[in-house]
A = this chain, B = another copy of it.
């Protein structure tokens, strides 16, 4: 499998990208990597490691798109950017997948404009996988589509179902609509209309409305919503986890010696809790509905997160998720 990587994407690029790529090479025999970025800079990073030279190709790209730039304008202007070069590798068929930790806006726009949508998919959706109390859950969409029509949410449910089914090997993943009440008649105009459509869709295991307070349990596999609400739920989860662990830290700092001894004894437990909330374990967020394997790595990804996003593209590829999406939506249209 050949994977294109945006060598300059992310807060810790290019060092963490190259480090993660090298780690992936030794863990996975069958991947070949194409790193796009300024050749001299990427080569300098690669020079720090010993690795099979025939499995990494550097694709020279002189420019970089920053998250502060207007996505579509930047894509048009910076044809020689690492993200555009990496996207073209997938478009022209050299690579099977792309990973970027850079500007989310530029990545989503680039995937849609350069690689294109799967025929029949109206709006591709960004669908991160999050760690919950009793299992992982996926939110579709978290920001690619801030204003949605009800029918988009049915497509989000189908996209999420195929990914979850194949990658996590769950026969019939449960699907919920993020809503502010459990009853069918609750919600805003969008969710009321979407509820009816989702309920009528026999091909999915629709559980009904899920209130946000029940999302973090992980009891529902896939949550659908417009990208604004999905993004709010996702970032509120991240922010709550970080603030709560921060409060625990604050309290410990001002605690007694005896309490500090307690912390020392608890270290292995705390470590295992932190691991549970570590997005680096999961990899990145697949951008579902575009006609390629496109993974958005977290902007603050370290080497381990990049390595795991490479593992994620492998799972996407080996489980034929893209073919299943194409089949699902070609029947529909």
Contacts and interface: CB of A to CB of B under 8 A. Distances in A.
Interface stretch (A48-56, A76-84, A226-234, A317-325): A226-234
What is the oligomeric copy number?
2
A214 interface: yes
A248 B231 contact: no
Contacts of A269: 248, 251-252, 255, 259, 262
B212 A180 contact: no
B211 A246 contact: no
B231 A243 contact: no
A191 B259 CA distance: 45
A306 to B, nearest CB: 22
Given A146-B188, A180-B231, A231-B180, A239 B266 contact: no
Contact of A215 (B226, B236, B273): B236
Given A189-B147, A228-B180, A261-B265, A243 B272 contact: no
A227 B246 CA distance: 28
Given A213-B238, A231-B212, A132 B243 contact: yes
Contacts of A232: 178, 180, 212, 229, 232-233, 236
Nearest to A131: B247
A241 B240 contact: yes
Contacts of A146: 180, 187-188
A259 B265 contact: yes
Contact of A243 (B133, B263, B266): B133
A239 B213 contact: yes
Contacts of A276: 247, 251
Contacts of A213: 235-236, 238-239, 242
A259 B262 CA distance: 8
A173 to B, nearest CB: 19
Nearest to A251: B269
A309 to B, nearest CB: 21
B215 A239 contact: yes
Contact of A239 (B191, B216, B246, B262): B216
A244 interface: yes
A278 to B, nearest CB: 12
A246 B217 CA distance: 9
A8 to B, nearest CB: 21
A143 interface: yes
A212 B235 contact: yes
B273 A247 contact: yes
11 contacts: A180-B228, A212-B236, A214-B239, A215-B239, A216-B236, A216-B240, A232-B233, A232-B236, A256-B268, A262-B262, A262-B263
Interface of A: 68, 132-133, 143, 146-147, 178, 180, 183, 187-189, 191, 211-217, 226-229, 231-248, 250-252, 255-256, 258-259, 261-266, 268-269, 272-273, 276-277
Q: Which 3 residue pairs are nearest across A and B when measured between Cβ atoms? A: A262-B265, A213-B239, A240-B240
